[in-house]
Structures are given as structure tokens and as C-alpha cells.
Structure 1
Amino acid sequence: MAHLEHLFVRGIRFDTEVQYLAQHASGVDGLTYENLLIRKSASVRTGALISVIQCLAVLGQLSRPQMREAQRLARKALQGTGDDSVLRCIDATGLPIVAELHVSDSGQTGHLGAIALEALRASHACLVHFESAAANRWATVIGVEWDRATGEPKALLLLDAGANEPWACAHNVRIELRAEAGRSVRASPGFTLNCRHLTGEACAVRLRSLIVLWRS
């Protein structure tokens, strides 16, 4: 019997909008909840940029001015949407954040899911690069669904700028790691994972890479 749990990035809440713990912009000691940057865009580059800033904001507990400055520096550095470009974008912000790339190949789906689960347990953050037959996307891994009985990750819970903004929910897209994609999501060779939006859209995808970030 499955005993499923959702493990989310530390420091967020989503009673209404998705929020994260941040430093006060005024310099007052302590932390306050701020709305996480969420913006809908069909652009792969914009989606990558937003996902980077989401992870940096949560990890660094950035104030609103700090987040805007990180976004400015990251936008300037992001020249493409490949793994190396996103890594340079993270580095260009100058924040004390370490980023580690894990590249997928066929058969590594469970491996990347396990890395994401362990990263969230360690209070790290993750970006995932995935693609369908029509497009590729970057998204924030805001949570992981896992089975307590087996310890296996079952799904990546994503905050994807290409999907509708969530309300009273941390994620807006779910990629199933164990169930093979079928005809209902127009599966094709090489695209074997179900990707479902909370608003009902679905497609078959594959994972390309995972970037794990943590504070140095």
C-alpha cells in the first residue's frame, strides 16, 4: 500500500499565494513572508530566469530589493536556455549559492527524482529542465511526492512559468516518475513521463537535467 507524502521546499507557504521567508527590506531584524515571483510566460528563457530567481529567493531569503537586483544580474547573464547558460546565470548574481548539475539519460528518471528528494530534505532547492515533443521548459521543483513505505519519489511537483498561476497550492505542474505515459497524453518514443497541469492539460515529457542549489 502506498503512503504518499508531499515534501516542499523549506520556507514556503501557500495558504493563498505562494510565499517565502524573506529578510525585511527596511533592514529590521527577523524574517517576513513575501510573495514569490510568479509570472506566466510561454518564453523558455523567461521561464528559466523566473525559476532561477525563485530558487535564489528561497535559499537566500532575499528581500524584495535584493530579489530585483538578482533578477537584473541574472537576466543580463542569461544568453541561452542550455544547462551551462543557466549555471552562468546563477553565478552572475554573486550570491553565496552553489549550483550542481545532474544530467539525465534514458533510464535515469528515478535517479533524478531521488536526487531532488534528498535535496529538499537537506533544505536545498532544484531546477528541472524537461521537454515534450513540442517544446522544452525550465521549472522550479517546489516539491516532491514520495512513498514513505518504499522511500521512492513518485512525482516532481513543479512551479512552471508556462502554466497558470497556482492558488492555495504550491505547484501548478506534476511530472509522474513511475507511471508510463499513455495515449491520453500523446506519448511518443523517448517521451515516457506523464506531465499534468492542475488545470487539466497534459502531455508526455522526458527529463533533461536537474540543477541542485544550496547556500555555500
Structure 2
Amino acid sequence: MTRGVFITLEGGDGSGKTTQAELLEEWLAGRGRTVVRTREPGGTDVGVEVREIVLHHRGDIAPRAEALLYAADRAHHVATVVRPALERGDIVIQDRYIDSSVAYQGAGRVLDPEEVRFVSEWATEGLLPDLTILLDLDADAARARLDRARTRYDRLEAEASEFHDRVRTAYLELAAAEPGRFLVVDAALPADDIAAAIRGRVAGLV
């Protein structure tokens, strides 16, 4: 059986990852492909519990502890959801993966990005995406979107602008270092234009 395709969506909160994941899933399903759409953290029962801690806990969490919690969720998620789907030949569309930890916990929390990457790559036994779609959006524009949509407290969304600027810069540096894996799209464009750019790249993989 042919191995499936692993596609991840990255970018700051408010960049439109959920919308684009939905549109891509709909397009692929229309082409007869089986799609597993998931997210980190929160793609498993264990992940839901981790998500509550890392995103909605109102007390402090030490940066290294935060990075390890994300890696622990990632290890379980890959082992129980992502790898089985890929082995079946499915297409996995995932909201956030290792690049999120490198950007948020590495650059955002000012940890060593390579150490953060190493922990996650160990946790996932080296599984990397076939394609990573980076939805790039200015931090101020993203915050304006979030202010309109927010329904509950989020630890990362609540960080200062400087934090989100560091995260955006880290994402762009990651994309520049691996242009073969990344597709960078201006998230300020209309949703249909973004979806068309994504479909153009994904068509070459599926």
C-alpha cells in the first residue's frame, strides 16, 4: 500500500489555519481521497487534557515544562493517529506540528530552538511532514482577528506583541531554511486565493 501524505499548517493564532484545513479537506475528499484532519494539541483524548494545561491554565508554566508537554502530546498523537493514518494511505491534514514548538517555545519562550526540535523529533521518531503550509500574517492583524473571535482565555494569545513578533520571525526563518518543504502564503489574502495557492502545491503530492 502506498504511504499517505502528511500536510501540516503553521502560523500564528488568527492566521486562518482552521479555515484552510477545512477547505483543503473538502477539495481532497472531492477527489476521492480519504482525509484525516487533526490538530496539536488536542487531536487525541490525551491531547485534549494537555491542551487545557498548555493553553488555558492561568498560572505560570516553566518554559521547559511547556515544551515537554507539547512533545509528550506529539509523541502520543503521532503514534496513535498520524502514523496509522499514513500507513493506511490516508492524507493527514494537521493544524500545528514540530515547527510550532520551535517557533513558540524556542523563539517565543527564548529556549534553544535546536534543543526544542530535538525533543520533538525524538518524540515522533523523526516523522516530518511532506508539506508545511505557513500562513504568514502580521501580528497586529492577527490580534485584531482574535479580538473579534475570542471565546475564552488563551495563554499564548495573551502574550505581548514582542512574543508574537519573535514567533513570526522564527516561522519565516524556518521556511527560508527548508523551501522544499514549506509553502508560505500571505494570510491577509482572501480565503479563496489562499486555498487556490495551497491546492496548486498539494496537487503535486497527491
Same fold (TM over 0.5): no
Higher helix share: 2
By percentage of residues, which structure has more strand? 1
Q: TM-score, normalised by structure 2?
A: 0.29
